[in-house]
Copies of this chain bind each other. A is one copy, B any other.
Amino acid sequence: MQRESIELTNMCMVCNGSQVLVQDRKDPRWPGITFPGGHVEPGESLADAVIREVREETGLIISDPRLCGLKDWCTDQGRYVVLFYRAERFSGSLQSSEEGEVWWEELDKLSSLNLARDMGDMLRVFLEEDISEFFYRPMGEEWINELR
C-alpha cells in the first residue's frame, strides 16, 4: 500500500453559451482572474465537492460537472492536485463571495484580462481535448510547465 499526503482541490469552468464564469480571486498568494473552486473535504465525493464550492463562491448550483483534466505538482510536503471540471447546466442567481467578485465573461476575451499566474496554460487543459494534465516538473531550481 502506497499512500501520499495530498491536498485535493477543484476548479470549475461554468459555461453559458460563449461566456464563462470568472472570479477575481483576492487571495494574495494567488491573485488574479481564474475560475471558482476550492478544497475537497475528507469523505466528500469529488462531484459533491465541486458543486459545493461553485455554490459557495458564485451562488449557482451546477448539475453536470464533468472532469476534463487536472493540474498537479509535488513538494517535500506531498502532492497538490487541482481537479478541473466543466459544467453547462446550472440554476440559482449569481452572487459573489468573500473569495472574490464573480461575473460572466466572453471566453475569447479572457486572454486580455488580468489572469492569475499560469491561468493561460490551465485554460488549455480546460479547452483542449487532448490535454489531460498540467504538471509542474522540477528542473534543477526551476519548475517547468508541462502539458500532457
Contact = CB atoms under 8 A, between A and B. Distances in A.
Interface of A: 1-8, 39-43, 45-47, 64-70, 72, 74, 77-79, 85, 129-130, 132-133, 135, 137, 146, 148
Contacts of A77: 3
Given A46-B72, A46-B135, 12 more contacts: A2-B7, A2-B8, A2-B39, A3-B78, A4-B40, A6-B6, A42-B79, A43-B74, A47-B148, A66-B130, A67-B68, A85-B132
Contacts of A74: 42-43
Contacts of A68: 67
Contacts of A85: 132
Residue of A4, A40, A68, A133 contacting most chain B CB atoms (<10 Å)? A4
Pick the 8 closest A-B CB pairs, nearest first: A67-B132, A47-B148, A45-B135, A6-B6, A43-B74, A3-B5, A2-B39, A47-B133
Contacts of A5: 3-6
Nearest to A7: B3
A70 B65 CA distance: 13
Contacts of A6: 3-6, 8
